[in-house]
């Protein structure tokens, strides 16, 4: 019997070896993405498209074969990237058209974010609207763009090009009508080089508030209609403006935070926030979860709790950090994002049948009223949870636990295991801020920082990202430096450990050396050096974060040179920033910081720690603390100290009064 089994096994192995070349051939050996490490690129390694990575060899191939380049940019948890992949890149006829006439290159926008930023800015200038992902660009063999678009369907619609006709059309033009390609290049080049003119605008808090008010939705709260993003930069600016006398601004920020926490943008079962709402009422989200959303929203909910003492806001902080640790945590670091889809079903993990929801509610009248289950379902026949109340009903906790039991039987969506320096440092800052309402988070902030720096800061070199179990290789970008410096400042504020201030000083010098040239700040040192964008829609811009860092570091180190660098940098883009406050709220915040000054409050460490709670209640938006041996409270801005006293209330009044001068 054993001889028979051995014979069958040997025969099977021989057959497998014979079939292996055919199996490999079926997987398209010309698609070289199997060599890559990026989760997004690996998702496309089995496409019939002959994908290549963004590298020198790929561009050399394009020149050698005299073919245009089909460039596709996306990321691993992007829903519409998945749609375009399934519709087009898995389709053999479309793949054949790409392979025949183009050199196909895939880019992970989180891996090469400076490349993505370059083409996103190009899209904005050509289309006069924001882009997104997927992003599709046709380039000459010399990398000159002659066509740019976002998602493209396989077949043309009334309002959109389709790949089935677009690909052969441009391939023919490239071979037979080079003049038309040159004209397309000239048009895009002219758009990219165009310099807008700006009307002179003044930096006045009241005017800034009115600009935000124009886009504010006072019915459902938030900004604009749909899709509606949890724009942390605007909420943060509202909190600042409330301290400049715009009292309504604080209520607007609180209302928006409450609406986001109670409606469908928030995951009421697992905790944490989805990427954005597809509607204006915050009811139905796009079900991705991004690390940066959790990191930037946590400090705002901490502030909301400090101002209102509403339990909801503290619960959101706790649940969001717990979710982030559970779903994204990895040895003290955090993965980047989770997908919207489960088994190709959008929102499949997060939605429930009406029967499941009603059973979990167990006829709790208050709970059912808050849920408003009058409809059969609000998302493709299923229920995505919304609470139509300002606070959670009493039965919420038990209801949540019953739905969690249902989810335990499901597969959680794909998680991108990229460890991005900037986003991880955002989480360090979030934990540092959360320590203001729960001291236990202080230890976690320090632990997470240590883990991030151990992996991504080696031999005094900062790196952009790593993958689980891999050694980082790509040099850091401006955003990595900016958010690292911010995290170090936040850690210094909760520890007064000079080590963090020293590291922040070192990184500030390196960031200036690598990314500051001729009065401008660039995202990277490499090719496609694009000036750092101002926009904060997805998360705070690297430029704005760096400007705020410079002003804070100038105060903490009493450096006139850093103050001058911040002033010079901000002056270069001042009118561009002020043209549309809603476009760049974090840069507006930096302008306000520069105009009114970052205040440094000094006293002995013992006294500062004793008055910690009272210091947080000082109504001045840009306040830092630093121990010294003067034996009294001393409030300073760069270049001068303006109030000192042993009486805390005297100094508090002096600091708050400086806003009115």
Whether residue 3 has pLDDT greater than 70 = no
Report if residue 244 sits inside a domain.
yes
Whether residue 313 has pLDDT greater than 50 = yes
| Structural domain that includes position 13 | 1-27
Q: What's the angle, vertex CA 274, arms to CA 352 and CA 312, rounded to 5?
A: 85
Are 110 and 255 members of one domain?
no
Report if residue 211 sits inside a domain.
no
Report if residue 201 sits inside a domain.
no
Q: pLDDT (tens digit, 9 = 90+) per residue, 627-641? A: 998 889 999 999 888
Contact assessment for residue 305 and residue 285, using Cβ atoms and an 8 Å cutoff:
no
> What is the C-alpha separation between 214 and 554, in angstroms, rounded?
34
Q: pLDDT (tens digit, 9 = 90+) per residue, 148-169? A: 999 999 998 878 889 999 999 9
- How large is the average pLDDT for residues 333-346? 93
Report if residue 88 sits inside a domain.
yes
State CA 80 to chain mean position distance. Answer: 17
Whether residue 339 has pLDDT greater than 50 = yes
Q: What's the angle, vertex CA 155, arms to CA 151 and CA 158, rounded to 5?
A: 85
Are 338 and 456 members of one domain?
yes
Q: pLDDT (tens digit, 9 = 90+) per residue, 491-504? A: 999 999 999 999 99
Which one, of 355, 338, 263, lies nearest residue 294 by Cα? 338
Read off the pLDDT band of 47 (50, 70, 90). very high
Are 76 and 176 members of one domain?
yes
Whether residue 17 has pLDDT greater than 50 = no
Q: pLDDT (tens digit, 9 = 90+) per residue, 176-207? A: 999 999 999 999 999 888 777 777 788 999 99
More confident residue, 320 or 526: 320
Whether residue 471 has pLDDT greater than 60 = yes
Q: pLDDT (tens digit, 9 = 90+) per residue, 496-553? A: 999 999 999 999 999 999 999 988 999 998 766 788 999 997 899 999 999 999 999 9
User: Which among 593, 621, 640 is the end of a domain?
Assistant: 593
**pLDDT value of position 158:** 79
Read off the pLDDT band of 130 (50, 70, 90). confident
Q: Tokens 């998680």, residue?
A: 415
Report if residue 249 sits inside a domain.
yes
Question: What rounded mean pLDDT belongs to the chain?
Answer: 92
Read off the pLDDT band of 374 (50, 70, 90). confident
**pLDDT value of position 659:** 83
Are 414 and 524 members of one domain?
no
**pLDDT value of position 661:** 60
Are 610 and 467 members of one domain?
no
Are 464 and 338 members of one domain?
yes
Whether residue 424 has pLDDT greater than 70 = yes
> What is the C-alpha separation between 331 and 336, in angstroms, rounded?
14
**pLDDT value of position 157:** 85
**pLDDT value of position 21:** 43
Report if residue 207 sits inside a domain.
no
**pLDDT value of position 456:** 97
Whether residue 373 has pLDDT greater than 90 = no
User: Number of structural domains, the chain?
Assistant: 6
**pLDDT value of position 493:** 97
**pLDDT value of position 347:** 94
Whether residue 34 has pLDDT greater than 60 = yes
Are 312 and 458 members of one domain?
yes
Read off the pLDDT band of 11 (50, 70, 90). low
**pLDDT value of position 527:** 66
Read off the pLDDT band of 280 (50, 70, 90). very high
Per the rule left: phi > 0, alpha: psi between -120 and 50, beta: everything else, 565 is: alpha
User: Which among 438, 473, 508 is the end of a domain?
Assistant: 473
Whether residue 9 has pLDDT greater than 50 = no
> What is the C-alpha separation between 633 and 533, in angstroms, rounded?
39
Report if residue 44 sits inside a domain.
yes
> What is the C-alpha separation between 234 and 358, in angstroms, rounded?
37
Q: pLDDT (tens digit, 9 = 90+) per residue, 448-470? A: 999 999 999 999 999 999 998 88
Q: pLDDT (tens digit, 9 = 90+) per residue, 70-104? A: 999 999 999 889 999 999 999 999 999 999 999 99
**pLDDT value of position 591:** 97
State CA 13 to chain mean position distance. Answer: 49
Are 433 and 516 members of one domain?
no
Report if residue 214 sits inside a domain.
no
Q: pLDDT (tens digit, 9 = 90+) per residue, 555-566? A: 999 999 999 999
Which one, of 429, 444, 545, 540, lies nearest residue 493 by Cα? 429
**pLDDT value of position 530:** 84
Are 458 and 321 members of one domain?
yes
> What is the C-alpha separation between 99 and 605, in angstroms, rounded?
66
Domain at 45, CATH number: 3.40.30.10
Contact assessment for residue 488 and residue 503, using Cβ atoms and an 8 Å cutoff:
yes
Classify the C-alpha dihedral 216-209-637-601 as positive or negative: negative
Are 38 and 150 members of one domain?
yes
User: Which among 593, 623, 648 is the end of a domain?
Assistant: 593
Alpha helices in 603-647 (DSSP H): 605-610, 612-616
Are 403 and 414 members of one domain?
no
Read off the pLDDT band of 10 (50, 70, 90). low
> What is the C-alpha separation between 127 and 391, in angstroms, rounded?
42
- Interhelix angle 542-557/560-579, rounded to 10 degrees, is 150
Kindly report which listed range (87-96, 111-120, 295-304, 417-426) carries the lowest average pLDDT score: 111-120
Are 83 and 48 members of one domain?
yes
């Amino acid at each position: 019997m054993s001889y028979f089994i051995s014979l069958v096994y040997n025969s099977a192995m021989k057959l497998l070896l014979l079939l292996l070349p055919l199996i490999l051939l079926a997987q398209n050996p010309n698609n070289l993405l199997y060599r890559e490490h990026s989760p997004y690129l690996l998702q496309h390694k089995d496409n019939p498209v002959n994908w290549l990575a963004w590298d020198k060899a790929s561009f050399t191939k394009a020149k050698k074969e005299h073919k245009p380049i089909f460039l596709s940019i996306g990321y691993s948890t992007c829903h519409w990237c998945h749609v375009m992949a399934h519709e087009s890149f898995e389709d053999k006829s479309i793949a054949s058209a790409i392979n025949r006439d183009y050199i196909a290159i895939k880019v992970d926008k989180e891996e090469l974010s400076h490349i993505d930023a370059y083409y996103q800015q190009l899209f904005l200038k050509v289309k006069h609207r924001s882009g997104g992902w997927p992003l599709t660009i046709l380039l000459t063999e010399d990398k000159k763009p002659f066509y740019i678009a976002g998602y493209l369907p396989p077949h043309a619609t009334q309002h959109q090009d389709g790949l089935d006709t677009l690909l052969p059309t441009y391939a023919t033009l490239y071979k037979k009508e080079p003049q038309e390609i040159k004209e397309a290049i000239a048009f895009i080049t002219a758009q990219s080089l165009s310099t807008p003119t700006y009307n002179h605008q003044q930096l006045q808090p009241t005017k800034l508030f009115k600009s935000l008010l124009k886009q504010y939705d006072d019915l459902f709260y938030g900004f604009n209609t749909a899709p509606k993003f949890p724009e942390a930069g605007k909420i943060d600016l509202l909190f600042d403006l409330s301290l400049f006398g715009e009292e309504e601004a604080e209520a607007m920020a609180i209302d928006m935070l409450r609406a986001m926490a109670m409606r469908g943008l928030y995951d009421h079962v697992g905790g944490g926030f989805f990427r954005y709402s597809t509607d204006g009422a915050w009811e139905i989200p796009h079900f991705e979860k991004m690390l940066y959303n959790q990191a930037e929203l946590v400090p705002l909910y901490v502030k909301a709790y400090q101002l209102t003492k509403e339990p909801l806001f503290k619960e959101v902080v706790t649940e969001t950090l717990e979710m982030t640790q559970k779903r994204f945590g990895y040895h003290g670091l955090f993965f980047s994002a989770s997908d919207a889809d489960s088994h190709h079903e959008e929102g499949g993990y997060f939605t429930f049948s009406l029967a499941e929801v009603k059973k979990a509610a167990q006829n709790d009248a208050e709970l059912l009223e808050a849920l408003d289950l009058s409809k059969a379902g609000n998302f493709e026949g299923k229920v995505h949870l919304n609470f139509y109340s300002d606070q959670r009903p009493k039965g919420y906790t038990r209801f949540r636990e019953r739905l969690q039991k249902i989810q335990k039987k499901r597969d959680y969506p794909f998680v991108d295991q990229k460890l991005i320096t900037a986003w991880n440092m955002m989480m360090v800052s979030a934990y540092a801020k959360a320590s203001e309402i729960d001291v236990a988070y202080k230890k976690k902030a320090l632990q997470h920082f240590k883990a991030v720096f151990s992996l991504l800061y080696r031999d005094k070199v900062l790196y952009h990202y790593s993958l689980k179990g891999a050694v980082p290789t790509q040099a850091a970008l401006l955003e990595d430096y900016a958010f690292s410096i911010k995290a170090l400042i936040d850690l210094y504020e909760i520890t007064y450990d000079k080590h963090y201030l020293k590291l922040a000083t070192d990184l500030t010098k390196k960031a200036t050396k690598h990314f500051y040239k001729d009065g401008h700040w660039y995202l990277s040192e490499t090719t496609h050096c694009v000036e750092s964008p101002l926009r904060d829609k997805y998360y705070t811009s690297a430029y704005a974060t760096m400007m705020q860092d410079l002003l804070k570091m100038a105060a903490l180190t009493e450096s006139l040179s850093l103050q001058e660098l911040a002033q010079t940098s901000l002056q270069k883009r001042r009118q561009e920033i002020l043209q549309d406050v809603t476009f760049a709220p974090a840069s507006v915040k930096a302008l306000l910081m520069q105009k009114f000054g970052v205040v440094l409050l000094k006293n002995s460490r013992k006294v500062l720690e004793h008055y910690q709670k009272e210091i947080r209640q000082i109504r001045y938006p840009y306040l830092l603390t630093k121990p010294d041996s003067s034996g009294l409270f001393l409030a300073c801005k760069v270049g001068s100290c303006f109030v000192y006293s042993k009486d805390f209330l005297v100094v508090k009044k002096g600091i708050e009064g400086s806003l009115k001068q």
